[in-house]
Amino acid sequence: MLIDTHCHLDMKAFDGDREEVIKRAGDAGIKYIINVGSDREGNIRGLRMFREHPSIYSAAGIHPHNAKKLDYSLYRELKEWVREPKVIAVGEIGLDYHYLHSPKGVQVEAFRRQMALAKDAGLPVIVHSREAKNDTLRVLREEISDTTGVLHCFSGDIDMAKKAMELGFYISLAGTVTFRNAQEMREIAKFVPDEFLLIETDAPYLSPEPVRGRRNEPAFLKHTAEVIAGIRGITVADLARITMLNAMKLFKIEEIAEEGEIVYRIRDSLYLNITNKCTNRCGFCIKFRTNYVKGHNLRLEKDPAALQIIKAIGDPRDYGEIVFCGIGEPFLRLDVVKKVSRWIKQQGGKVRINTNGQGNLIHGRNILPELQGLVDSISVSLDAEDEEKYEKICRPSFKGAYRGVIEFIKEAKKFIPEVRITVVKIPEVDIDRCRAIAAELGVPLREREFNEVG
Ligand code: SF4
């Protein structure tokens, strides 16, 4: 299920078939629509719509084009509107220096006042920024409060995305990413980490390919979602889960499930999250930043039992492979790994283990012969070119852990059909030397992006 985080169903373009458009959105898997106000009349129509449709929420605000109309009386009305329970943001506000329908100074003033309004109301902001990068970032920095927001229909560069995310802002991508000449937008679509990504239509504007040129509507969000999912190497279901979670966090439309997942699907693999404990404390580990991987909550209250995991898997043949990989080290629970793997193999499934390679150090013996026949492939995090660097980056609890990891890789090759090593691409790591180590060990090396998990 998707959420269209930005559209303008209040506009005249929908007067002839608004109800059909809303129905088509539901039929196309759009669970929620956020209608974003841009002028007085549109805001009022937006309020009416959400009263009539459970799937519609509203943002109330005055678009920078209309900034010159934000007088005292309109501001007072806005203050009333943002108190409505289904108004979940202040927007669309911001700066547009392309058309300059309102003078720059007037736009900045309206932007600031509406940021202050959002702060008072405890709501996030939905920001429009066109050809106004520096002023937008300056106002956001100066007016920021506990509540953040989203840069909608993002049209800036990677530098702007980075600076906005540093302020806690989400980046929302629209149909422009599907346009044939939109190379820069596609780079942004790859660059933005999962935890900052939202998607939208901005309907009735900016219809995506292959419906470009027609009036846009929320049902067309699927085209944008397909392109972004393809760029990020995930499925539309993965993208839907990621962006729905982000929208729930930002706009607080629904409660977010607190309970961690024991098994979670990404693409056609099923991942097993069997512990959050680890013998390393890697500086780049995602668990120090978030509980979520691709929209799945992995923070466990307690480690699950083997039978619980088996029950949660269902039929292992439904997946390309079953991967032991959570936000902890699976070999801390070797008995569970062996029991569950044996069952998966008996059912005709394929098993992979993602590990930090410290299984032999943890158990004080060579555990690899015990895994023979139970595990098809093993992926070991090397993460550094030498002991000193490993100590610094991974902060292991074992002394001499790096040498232990290298030994583990050598042993794994004797008992496991497929062994590979991984390295997270961070500036401190000498990737060329890691490549040389992989070649010496005779195993393939996979380089992982810093923000790429799952
Ligand atoms: S080894 Fe993996 S789970 Fe453990 S701290 Fe490092 S990145 Fe996190």
Where among 230, 251, 272 does a domain terminate?
251
Across all residues in the chain, what is the average pLDDT?
96
Residue 228's CATH number: 3.20.20.140
When computed from its CA atoms, the radius of gyration of the chain, rounded to whole angstroms, is 25
**Which class for 91: exposed (0-12), middle (13-18), buried (19 or more C-beta within 10 A)?**
buried
pLDDT at 258: 84
Same domain, 232 and 360: no
Same domain, 272 and 366: yes
289-338 per-position pLDDT tens digit = 899 999 999 999 999 999 999 999 999 999 999 999 989 999 999 999 99
Identify whether 454 is part of a domain: no
Same domain, 283 and 173: no
Query: What percent of the chain has pLDDT above 70?
Result: 99
Same domain, 375 and 288: yes
Same domain, 311 and 388: yes
Closest CA to 414 of 365, 357, 369: 369
Identify whether 257 is part of a domain: no
Same domain, 30 and 75: yes
Q: What is the residue range of 282's domain?
A: 263-449
Decide if pLDDT at 452 tops 80: no
367-385 per-position pLDDT tens digit = 999 999 999 999 999 999 9
Same domain, 166 and 278: no
146-191 per-position pLDDT tens digit = 779 999 999 999 999 999 999 999 999 999 999 999 999 999 999 9
Where among 225, 251, 277 does a domain terminate?
251
CA of 416 to the centre of ligand 1 (A): 22
Cis peptide before 54 (omega within 30 of 0): no
Residue 400's CATH number: 3.20.20.70
Same domain, 236 and 128: yes
Query: What percent of the chain has pLDDT above 90?
Result: 96
Ligand 1, CB within 6 Å, residue ranges: 278, 280-282, 285, 287, 327-329, 356, 381, 394
Ligand 1 pocket mutation, candidates 276, 277, 280, criterion most atoms within 8 A of CB: 280
How many domains does one find in the chain?
Answer: 2
pLDDT at 451: 66
User: Which band of pLDDT confidence, cut at 50, 70 and 90, is reported for residue 257?
Assistant: confident
pLDDT at 453: 66
29-45 per-position pLDDT tens digit = 999 999 999 999 999 99
Identify whether 64 is part of a domain: yes
Identify whether 377 is part of a domain: yes
CB atoms within 10 A of CB 334: 15
Same domain, 65 and 150: yes
Same domain, 187 and 288: no
| Residue 399, both tokens | 């002394």
Identify whether 258 is part of a domain: no
CA of 327 to the centre of ligand 1 (A): 6
CA of 414 to the centre of ligand 1 (A): 25
Ligand 1 pocket mutation, candidates 284, 356, 395, 449, criterion most atoms within 8 A of CB: 356
272-298 per-position pLDDT tens digit = 999 999 999 999 999 998 999 999 999
Same domain, 63 and 163: yes
Identify whether 326 is part of a domain: yes
Where among 200, 228, 251 does a domain terminate?
251
| Residue 205, both tokens | 């504007």
